[in-house]
């Protein structure tokens, strides 16, 4: 079908548009893709920006009728994550799907659209002294992107991950059918597993349009207690001593930059008096060089890499964190690669960054070594993002249990494999 005919069909599905594809307010609902409409290096043909769930459903029904492969994009902060789509015709842009649908402050519940920026949501909730206790590691990220990648940060130690805080979801299947799961009551478990299922699926099972979350009060006081050391393994051991103490930290972070040295930082939250007492106890535990502040240290909650670099997620049993730190740094040193490590010693999740200019084959060799090191401490290593020469040499996901089951789930939700094909584990 000619491009103009496809655009006309998509514009008709979007609704409320003129013949040139613009809404009455002048914004474009459907347009030809431009040079920046690229997902993991793969260019799209068209871009559509629905404003509500019904519009998204109409667009996906039309895309199904036209056999268009679809990938979802929010703020594009994680579009380099995952594999490149094996086929890409249409980008569904969720930035118009933004805003808080409901905030039941008395019940500590919010319903929010997928394209809502996390920083804007935080500002809205702060007016009621409440928070969605999930950390935005990349500025400008959206709710939908966070759910699709199951991203989390330092505070997962106390509050949990997306799967722990999401209690309901509205999504549109590949065939345009709208599905609801869960609800606005924390104890309502009807359909709850569907919300968990789409979390971390990289948009391969459906388009998430709205999410319901459990909220927490903003703490009256916070303190960050930091101890620096020359030895990353020593930082890991210090973190172990914090875990063994009765300090109830919100987060316990390690930071081992490529230039050497390391730091362990403990985040404490609560009443002013309680935080002050626990901060003093933490300083005594970490040693005389420990410092306390009500502001986070540089890099707190951020990934240790920049756009175009290689970034990995490493996991380990809590007792294995010091060993993983030491083994990862030794493996990088043997290959002459500057490896930066940062993450949670409280839950055994570390992030590793390598410059995008590093030799691709040496990076690939290091990825293999990091997978071996992670497996030795009951963990796993995933390449979240990497430049094309590195992608060509590594399996981004590595060995994954349950891949056959994941394929069957994909076939049930998207039998024609038109949603983000190739983006997820095993080429799903």
The candidate with the shortest Cα–Cα distance to 182, out of 162, 152, 158, is 162
Q: In whole angstroms, what separates CA 124 from the centre of its chain?
A: 21
Query: From CA 281, how far away is CA 211, in angstroms rounded?
Result: 39
Range name among 45-49, 137-141, 156-160, 269-273 with the lowest pLDDT average: 137-141
Is position 402 within any domain? Answer: no
Looking at residues 95-100, what average pLDDT do you find?
96
Tokens of 54: 């019904």
pLDDT higher than threshold 60 for residue 26: no
Report the 10 Å Cβ neighbour count for 404: 8
Is position 409 within any domain? Answer: no
- Grade residue 367 by pLDDT with cuts at 50, 70 and 90: very high
Which of residues 42, 62, 93 is at a domain's end?
A: 93
Domain co-membership, 253 together with 381? yes
Q: What is the pLDDT of residue 412?
A: 94
Kindly provide the b/e burial profile for residues 123-133, where b requires at least 16 CB atoms within 10 angstroms of the residue's own CB: ebbeeeebbbb
Query: From CA 105, how far away is CA 325, in angstroms rounded?
Result: 41
pTM of the complete model: 0.92
Domain co-membership, 363 together with 272? yes
Q: What is the pLDDT of residue 22?
A: 60
pLDDT higher than threshold 90 for residue 56: yes
Is position 131 within any domain? Answer: yes
Looking at residues 328-335, what average pLDDT do you find?
96
Q: What is the pLDDT of residue 20?
A: 57
Domain co-membership, 111 together with 79? no
- Grade residue 4 by pLDDT with cuts at 50, 70 and 90: confident
Tokens of 331: 């493996």
Query: From CA 27, how far away is CA 47, in angstroms rounded?
Result: 13
Which of residues 93, 123, 152 is at a domain's end?
A: 93
Report the 10 Å Cβ neighbour count for 289: 10
Query: From CA 215, how far away is CA 125, in angstroms rounded?
Result: 9
Residue carrying structure tokens 């492969």:
69
Per-residue pLDDT tens for 248-271? Answer: 999 999 999 998 899 999 999 999
Domain co-membership, 206 together with 228? no
pLDDT higher than threshold 90 for residue 16: no
Per-residue pLDDT tens for 354-363? Answer: 999 999 999 9
User: What are the residues facing 266 on neighbouring strands?
Assistant: 225, 252
Number of domains forming the structure of the chain: 3
* 357-362 long-range contacts, CB within 8 A, separation 24+: 358/310, 360/387, 360/389, 360/390, 360/392, 360/393, 361/393, 362/335, 362/336, 362/337
Is position 212 within any domain? Answer: yes
Domain co-membership, 258 together with 381? yes
Angle at 60 between CA 59 and CA 66, to 5 degrees: 90
CB contact set of 362 (below 8 Å; sequence gap of 6+): 335, 336, 337
Higher pLDDT, 17 or 107: 107
Domain co-membership, 190 together with 316? no
Is position 426 within any domain? Answer: no
Q: What is the pLDDT of residue 400?
A: 87
Is position 9 within any domain? Answer: yes
Domain co-membership, 105 together with 251? no
Q: What is the pLDDT of residue 18?
A: 54
Per-residue pLDDT tens for 306-321? Answer: 999 999 999 999 999 9
Domain co-membership, 234 together with 366? yes
Report the 10 Å Cβ neighbour count for 357: 9
Per-residue pLDDT tens for 234-248? Answer: 898 899 999 999 899
Could you tell me what percent of the chain has a pLDDT over 90?
85
Residue 248's CATH number = 3.40.462.10
- Using CB atoms within 10 A of its CB, is residue 3 exposed (0-12), middle (13-18) or buried (19+)? exposed
- Three-class DSSP category at 35: coil
Domain co-membership, 307 together with 184? no
Tokens of 299: 């890099």
Residue 72's CATH number = 3.30.43.10
What's the whole-number average pLDDT of the chain?
A: 93
Is position 420 within any domain? Answer: no
Query: From CA 371, how far away is CA 425, in angstroms rounded?
Result: 16
DSSP string across 307-370: TTSEEEEEE--GGGHHHHHHHHHHHHHHTT---EEEEETTTTEEEEEE-TTS-HHHHHHHHHHH
Domain co-membership, 267 together with 321? yes
Higher pLDDT, 274 or 3: 274
Is position 407 within any domain? Answer: no
Q: What is the pLDDT of residue 191?
A: 47
- Its domain, for residue 178, covers 101-217
Which of residues 60, 93, 126 is at a domain's end?
A: 93
Looking at residues 390-416, what average pLDDT do you find?
94
Domain co-membership, 39 together with 175? no
Query: From CA 232, how far away is CA 247, in angstroms rounded?
Result: 22
| Residue 291 · residue 226 · CB < 8 Å | yes
Q: Is the dihedral of CA 334, 258, 310, 227 positive or negative?
A: positive
Residue 129's CATH number = 3.30.465.10
Per-residue pLDDT tens for 191-229? Answer: 448 899 999 999 999 999 999 999 999 999 999 999 999
Q: What is the pLDDT of residue 401?
A: 87
Provide the terminal-to-terminal Cα distance of the chain, rounded to the nearest Å: 27
The candidate with the shortest Cα–Cα distance to 81, out of 154, 137, 133, 31, is 137
Domain co-membership, 27 together with 120? no
Say if strands 70-73 and 90-93 run parallel, antiparallel, or are unpaired: parallel
Q: What is the pLDDT of residue 331?
A: 97
How far is the CA of 350 from the CAs of 21, 332, 370, in angstroms?
45, 15, 11
């Amino acid at each position: 079908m000619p491009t103009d005919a496809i655009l006309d069909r998509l514009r008709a599905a979007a609704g409320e548009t003129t013949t040139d594809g613009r809404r009455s307010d002048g914004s474009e609902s459907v347009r030809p893709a431009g040079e920046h409409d690229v997902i993991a290096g793969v260019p799209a043909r068209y871009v559509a920006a629905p404003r509500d769930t019904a519009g998204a459903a109409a667009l996906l029904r039309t895309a199904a009728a036209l056999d268009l492969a679809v990938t979802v994009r929010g703020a594009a902060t994680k579009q380099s994550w995952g594999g490149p789509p094996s086929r890409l015709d249409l980008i569904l842009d969720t930035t118009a799907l933004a805003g808080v649908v409901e905030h039941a402050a008395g019940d500590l519940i919010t319903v929010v659209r997928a394209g809502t920026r996390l920083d804007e949501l935080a500002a809205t909730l702060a007016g009621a002294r409440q928070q969605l206790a999930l950390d935005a590691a990349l500025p400008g990220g959206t709710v939908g992107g966070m759910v699709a990648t199951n991203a989390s940060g330092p505070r997962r130690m106390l509050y949990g991950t997306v799967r722990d805080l999401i209690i309901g979801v509205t999504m549109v299947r590949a065939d345009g059918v709208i599905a609801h799961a869960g609800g606005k009551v924390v104890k309502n478990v009807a359909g709850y597993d569907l919300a968990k299922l789409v979390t971390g699926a990289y948009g391969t099972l459906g388009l998430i349009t709205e999410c319901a979350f459990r909220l927490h009060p903003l703490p009256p006081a916070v303190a960050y207690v930091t101890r620096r050391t020359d030895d990353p393994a020593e930082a890991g051991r210090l973190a172990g001593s914090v875990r063994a103490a009765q300090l109830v930290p919100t987060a316990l972070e390690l930071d081992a930059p490529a230039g050497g040295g390391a730091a362990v930082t403990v985040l404490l939250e609560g009443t002013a008096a309680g935080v002050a007492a626990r901060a003093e106890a933490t300083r005594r535990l970490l040693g005389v060089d420990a410092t306390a502040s009500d502001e986070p240290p540089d890099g707190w909650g951020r990934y240790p890499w920049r756009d175009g670099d290689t970034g990995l997620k490493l996991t380990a049993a809590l007792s294995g964190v010091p060993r993983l730190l030491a083994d990862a740094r030794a493996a990088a040193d043997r290959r002459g690669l500057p490896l930066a490590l940062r993450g949670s010693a409280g839950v055994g999740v570390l992030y590793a960054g390598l410059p995008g200019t590093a030799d691709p084959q040496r990076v690939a060799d290091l990825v293999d070594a990091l997978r071996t090191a992670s497996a030795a401490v009951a963990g796993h290593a995933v390449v979240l993002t990497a430049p094309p020469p590195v992608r060509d040499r590594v399996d981004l996901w590595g060995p994954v249990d349950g891949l056959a089951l994941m394929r069957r789930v994909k076939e049930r939700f998207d039998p024609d494999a038109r949603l983000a094909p190739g983006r997820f584990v095993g080429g799903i």
